[in-house]
Amino acid sequence: MFIIKSFIFPKNVYDFLKSLDHSTCMSKNHSTQEARSRATCQVSQATNNINKGSTMINPGMYSSATPEWETPQDFFDSVNAIFNFNVDVCATELNAKCANYYTKIQDGLAQNWDDSVAWMNPPYGRSISHWVKKASESKGIVVGLLPSRTDTAWYHNFVKDKAEIIFVRGRLKFGDGKNSAPFGSILAIWWNGNEVSLSQALAVQEIAA
């Protein structure tokens, strides 16, 4: 990998950079200023070519710039068939999965989840730690669709050893996206001391299979 600023260039792009015709970046008069700007010119030219082709990588996909990932409806339906959720604690009016839901205005973090069977697909940015902390401290059942980031503090503090974890096979296509997400997903189930029916336990194991 060849990394410049927020762009991640595959090796073939690095090879392209090396093969650029320097005449497009420098005149025959190799002044000090021109020499200093050669690398910048090469990167700019490479970036323009990437943007025109199919190898462009959206840097927002790898950062908090794109924190909201709408739950795939078919995936939600399969999980909802097990739990029969009564509230979506982190939603918008356009992507809510339950009749009862909290948007940014209602602020799901400020609501009481104790008597709920809650669905949670939180923003995948820095605020995710607040959501998983809330889920782990609730007295209700909370099921969260989360990015598989097992090296993070929020995973170790509020998911590992506190929730049943199911690693989703493959990569999901969120919302109306045509391509799969650039990360794996997990389903975290915080039972929080609530009784689990045999049918629920067996169905959950089927998801994990």
Model confidence pLDDT, tens digit, residues 136-159: 999 999 999 999 899 999 999 999
Of 180, 19, 145, nearest in space to 71 by CA = 145
Mean pLDDT score across all residues of the chain = 74
Model confidence pLDDT, tens digit, residues 13-49: 444 444 444 444 444 445 545 544 554 454 445 434 4
pLDDT above 80: residue 1: no
Phi then psi for 154, rounded to 5 degrees?
A: -65, -35
Instruction: Collect all residues with Cβ–Cβ distance below 8 Å to 31 and sequence separation of at least 6.
Output: none
DSSP 108: G
Q: Tell me how far apart the alpha carbons of residues 183 and 188 are, in angstroms, rounded to a whole number.
A: 16
Beta-bridge partners for 145: 187
Going from the N-terminus, what domains does the chain have, and what CATH number goes with each?
Answer: 2-57 (no CATH), 73-208 (3.40.50)
Instruction: Collect all residues with Cβ–Cβ distance below 8 Å to 69 and sequence separation of at least 6.
Output: 121, 124, 174, 175, 181
Q: Tell me how far apart the alpha carbons of residues 206 and 188 are, in angstroms, rounded to a whole number.
A: 15
The more confident residue out of 190 and 72 is 190
Could you tell me the pTM of the whole model?
0.65
Helix 11-19 vs helix 32-52: crossing angle, to nearest 10: 140
The more confident residue out of 100 and 73 is 100
